[in-house]
Amino acid sequence: MTYKPCPRCKKLIPHGTAYCAACKPIAEQSMQEKRQHNKSMRQKKYNSRRNPKYVKFYHSKDWKNLSRYKLEQVAWKCEAHLDNGCTGIAVEIHHTKPIQTEEGWNLRLEWSNLEAVCTHCHNLRHPEKLRRVQPGVVDMRIFL
């Protein structure tokens, strides 16, 4: 059996393991904190490009309660009714009239303007928000 030094304490450990038993919990905790930090930084960067009016709306208690209630009322089933015959689990609420328009903003909390959709169908409703791919590269997400 071959051995290598533990990256933290330099104690010899079997090859194929990342850390010794003493360092493993510490390393996992550090990794978890790093993931949380990266997630919050991505969210902060994303929100910095959005209009503060919409960020405030989506963080409001009224929106959170209404969107959760809508998902519960449709039993978490996708309402997109697209040609693909989706049977996905709805996890997002789509505004049929976008809130970026005057009419959509006035209807932002109206039940009739909301549609529970799965992430895939929501992305199909907003193709402009999908990441741009380089020419010649096939985006495999469209086949899922």
Asked if residue 119 and residue 66 are part of one domain, the reply reads yes
Question: Which structural domain range is residue 129 located in?
Answer: 61-134
Asked if residue 117 and residue 83 are part of one domain, the reply reads yes
Asked if residue 36 and residue 91 are part of one domain, the reply reads no
- In terms of Cα–Cα distance, which of 110, 117, 128, 66 is closest to 91? 117
Which residue pairs, CB below 8 angstroms and at least 24 apart, start in 130-139?
none
Asked if residue 65 and residue 26 are part of one domain, the reply reads no
> Residues 80-115: pLDDT tens digits?
876 667 888 999 999 999 999 999 999 999 999 999
- Are 9 and 22 in contact by the 8 Å Cβ rule? The answer is yes
CB-CB neighbours of 47 under 10 Å: 14
104 found inside a domain: yes
144 found inside a domain: no
Q: What is the pTM of this model?
A: 0.62
Asked if residue 106 and residue 81 are part of one domain, the reply reads yes
55 found inside a domain: no
Residue 50 has pLDDT above 90, yes or no: no
- Are 122 and 76 in contact by the 8 Å Cβ rule? The answer is no
Number of domains in the chain: 2
